[in-house]
Structure 1
Amino acid sequence: MTLSLAFPESDRYCLRQARVPQAVLDNCDGLGRPDPEGSFLLDLSIEAGRITAIAPTSSSPSDALSLDLQGRQLWPGFIDIHTHLDKGHIWLRSPNPDGSFEGALATAIADSSQHWTPDELLARMDFSLRCAYAHGTVALRTHLDSAGELAARGFAVFQELRQRWSDRLTLQAASLVSLDHYQGAAGERLADLVTEAGCLLGGVTFPSPELDEQLDRLLDLARDRQLDLDLHVDESLEPSDRTLQQVAAAVQRKGFTGKVLCGHCCSLSVQPEAELPTQLQAVQAAGLGIVSLPLCNSYLQDRQTGRTPRLRGIAPVQEIRTAGIPLCLSSDNTRDPFYAYGDLDMVEVFRESVRIGQLDHPWLPWPAAVTCTPADWMGLVDQGRVAIGARADFVIFNARSFTELLARPQSDRLIVRNGRAIAPKLPDYAELDAVLMRH
């Protein structure tokens, strides 16, 4: 069911009394004072699918057609910057045998070697994009397993999907291998493939005596091809895992000027409190960004059969943001051996992140972590924000406060794209039965 509002059909209209979080606004000058939760009650003028004016709600309606939102929350379309579309929805075919990270990795590798044909990948990845789109996401980045023959196959499917979805979703992709894959001619070939696909270089940083050399090689490949980086870093609860610091040092050592986003960073949560500020200062000085994946990491980390987890694996996101490091929240895996649940719904990601990370005192900065901050890292200047000139891509909720927003799943949210209300439907899981060989 979709929120019932008589949305204007004109290309020029005004949305009145929209409650907009301060964190998603580019400029708050002249908007008055926010409410105690850090939101403004605003009138938004829309014309030809763009925001043309933003003003405090007035008692006098504008001369354009208008729709009174009566204080309902309005957010820009979501940006999901860390996903794994190529693994999505294989759980029923290849479940994790014990819920562990090791079990997930082995199961995913086995599934990819047996089942990931171009048609199979296309069907599952398109299904995932339909889910994200129906939930209000406007841009998404996926990591693609890139060892051996998977690289050419995965990036070819991704490019086809990017073309199919070009009028609805902004899509990006990053390669995913251990960093030793970039050594020698094989590394050159993978970097060239990524460049030809217009994507990013990525990989997993494992503690190793060779890691500094591997990072230098990766940064050289990226610099020579003018590529940004998106890495999986320290996805463990081992206090000795500190490859994030090596990434920061390598970026400064090589003078790398591209963007470097680091995902997970779970081991920061178990390192000595007294050392954390110094480590984060090095990350900030190197200009790195961090994306935290609370749903997947809470599912995998500190799991032992018959024992309740004590540690949740979430990076110290409050300290990261306080240190001035750009911080994103994202979906990660979806119904695969790494995470049995999820639907690429950024409302769920935000709601559960708030609960897991206690991100509610204050609310003020956190909506940016699923909107404008990841938009900036994806180079999207007119998405993921409420600003004059930005796209009129919104998610409107039948909720006025944050407690109303997060108390329910917001299944009746209204999706607005290019200034028009739309009603995309979630795909039926039964569509995947043939792909997963279920009868």
Structure 2
Amino acid sequence: MKIINARLRGDEQLFTLQIEAGKFSRISPQEGILFSDLESYDANGNLCSVPFVEPHIHLDAALTAGEPNWNISGTLFEGIERWAERKPLLTEEDVQTRALKTIELLVANGVQFIRTHVDVTDPNLVALKALVKIREQIKDKLHLQIVAFPQEGILSYPNGKGLMEQAIKEGADVIGGIPHFEFTREYGVESMRWVIELAQKTGKLVDVHCDEIDDGAARFLEVLATAALEAGIGERVTASHTTAMHSYNNAYCSKLFRLLKMSKINFVSCPTESMHLQGRFDGYPKVRGITRVKEMREAGLNVCLAEDSIQDPWYTLGNGKLLRVLDSAIHSCHMMGYNELENGLDLITNNGARTLQIEEQYGIEIGKPANFIILEGGNDLEVIQKQGEVLLSVKEGNVLLERKPAEILTGPVFG
């Protein structure tokens, strides 16, 4: 397979990329525009990028909005209540059908690497077992990581620790947590220490729903970061959401960022969902409820963006388009300076790959697996401006998706 007339990120010239045995065998600049032939794919000056990474999604709950009841208040906690009503109705077939439909949406929009959180506060672990089977089924086409996520708490749910340990035995890749939802602060602190200890014992990654609340006094992030630092596993640890940081005072944040940089933990922000769920207890002005993405980038912390939900009890919308999520973050986090836009795709590509610890199979470099997408636009800024479609998605040399750019059949009429 050969790609011609492609642009690469950070470079204005055109390139030819040769793929052999599922890997990049040659990447060379062109002297001019090449004419396409039967053996080549013409990128027409569009951007050849590493694939999108979805680092935080809930496949077990996807496509269940309104089943059996709608989240009327729009709050995070009512969403948990509505999910608790839906959870007893789960079957492996139900979970697999919805999860595969959702994965198809993500793949159609350039995603090739997914981390899904799966609720394991279920004595039968129905959803977890279903997704472990899906992971095996799609392993040749898609990279799927599974987080054992204790939606109703580790210490606050009956046999919570036991269910987490059983989830790992059943095949979970990542250990989750939700300290701000535990009954007491003491439970939350203990759960974070326990999660890190379990990660050390099992060698698993960690991804915690951490301080997903508007409470400026929620301080479990400092506990998680300290535990990760002391254990020396910060690069394997992720704090998702951290929306309470939006409500922290700046003096405390200055102190906190020192710890966060030392710990080397990763961060995931879900801006579309956070704007929807947070600020529900405010009058005016209302908080946006998004963690400090801009400041994290400036401090050199690894932060990436995710969609979080697709049509579930917490978020009725969602369509698998990470460019939509990036567009939302750029606006809501005041990240529209040119220097922020020129590498904006990092937030849904390279930073997510670092979070998932998949960098060895990620990157447009000779010898690496030929995993890439073609996007409408010649650089990060143009891609973000156009908000266009993914034209081509290739995984290890195999085409997952190909589409033609939209065409205007009749032009606009003026006068």
TM-score, scaled to structure 1: 0.81
| Residue 128 of structure 2 is aligned to residue 155 of structure 1 | yes
Does residue 1:165 correspond to 2:138, yes or no?
Answer: yes
CA–CA distance in 1 between the matches of 2:317 and 2:146? 22
104, 111, 121: which is aligned to 1:130? 104
| Displacement after TM superposition at 1:97 (Å) | 1.2
2:68 is the alignment partner of 1:90: no
Q: Aligned residues: percent identity?
A: 22
**1:347 match:** 323
SS at match of 2:96: helix
Residues 177, 191 of structure 2: 8 Å contact kept: no
* Aligned equivalent of 1:241, options 218, 230, 235: 218
- After superposition, residues 6-85 of structure 1 pair within 5 angstroms as 11=1, 13=2, 15-22=3-10, 34=11, 41-59=14-32, 66-85=40-59
What runs of 5+ residues in structure 2 fail to find an aligned partner? 404-415
- Residue 155 of structure 1 aligns to which amino acid in structure 2? L
2:228 to 238, 251, 274: 251
* Higher relative contact order (CA closer than 8 Å, sequence separation 6+): 1
Aligned to 1:6: none
- Cα distance in 2 between the residues matched to 1:60 and 1:406: 24
Query: What secondary structure is seen at the aligned counterpart in 2 of 1:203?
Result: coil
> Could you say what secondary structure the match of 2:353 adopts?
helix
C-alpha offsets along residues 367-406 of structure 1, whole Å, 9 cap, x if unaligned?
Answer: 2221122222323235442222222232212323555423
Aligned length: 395
C-alpha distance in 1 between matches for 2:353 and 2:271 = 19
Give, as a single letter, the amino acid of the residue that structure 1 aligns with 2:378: R
Give the drift of 1:182: 8.9
Superposed, which structure 2 residues align to 1:91-110 within 5 Å? 91-93=65-67, 94-110=69-85
5 Å-filtered alignment, 1:132-281, equals: 132-150=106-124, 152-177=125-150, 178-181=152-155, 186-206=160-180, 208-256=185-233, 259-281=236-258
Distance 1:216 1:422 in 2: 41
Bigger mean CA offset, 118-127 vs 209-218: 209-218
Question: How far apart are the structure 2 equivalents of 1:299 and 1:63?
Answer: 46
Match of 1:79, SS? strand
Deviation at 1:147, TM superposition (A): 0.8
1:82-110 CA-partner distances (Å, limit 9, x unpaired):
10001101114232112122221111111
1:144–1:266: structure 2 CA closer, same or farther, 3 Å change rule?
Answer: same
SS in structure 2 at match of 1:262: strand
Q: Gaps spanning 5+ residues in structure 1: where?
A: 1-10, 23-33, 426-439
Amino acid corresponding to residue 104 of structure 1 in structure 2: G
Note the 1:272-351 alignment, pairs <5 A: 272-303=249-280, 310-351=286-327
Q: CA deviation at 1:66?
A: 4.7
1:369 equivalent to 2:347? Answer: yes
Q: Is the contact between residue 373 and residue 390 of structure 2 (CA under 8 Å) also seen in structure 1? A: no
How many Å separate the matches in 2 of 1:254 and 1:339?
Answer: 35
SS at match of 1:97: coil
Q: Which amino acid aligns with 2:45?
A: G
Question: Aligned partners of 1:129 and 1:63: how far apart in 2?
Answer: 32
> CA, structure 1 residues 352+57, in 2 after alignment: closer, same or farther (shift >3 Å)?
farther
Q: Secondary structure at the match of 1:45?
A: strand
- Code of the residue aligned with 2:100 in structure 1: it is D
> For residues 304 and 182 of structure 1, do their structure 2 counterparts lie closer, same or farther at Cα, with a shift above 3 Å needed?
closer
Letter in 2 for 1:287: K
Alpha-carbon RMSD across the aligned residues, in angstroms, is: 2.8
Q: Does the 8 Å contact 1:382/1:391 carry over to 2?
A: no
Instruction: Give the conservation status (yes or no) of the 8 Å contact 2:5–2:14.
Output: yes
Deviation at 1:300, TM superposition (A): 0.9
Supply the AA of the counterpart residue of 2:179.
T
Q: Distance in 2 between matches of 1:417 and 1:218?
A: 33
Question: What displacement does 1:129 show?
Answer: 1.1
Q: Please give the alpha-carbon distance, in whole angstroms, between the structure 2 residues aligned to 1:141 and 1:250.
A: 23
8 Å Cα contact 1:195/1:225 also seen in 2:
no
Is the contact between residue 82 and residue 142 of structure 1 (CA under 8 Å) also seen in structure 2? Answer: yes
- Indicate the larger mover: 333-342 or 246-255: 246-255
Deviations 1:17-60 (A, max 9, x none): 322223xxxxxxxxxxx45xxxx643323223322233333238
Alpha-carbon spacing, 1:165–1:220, altered in 2? closer, same or farther (3 Å): same
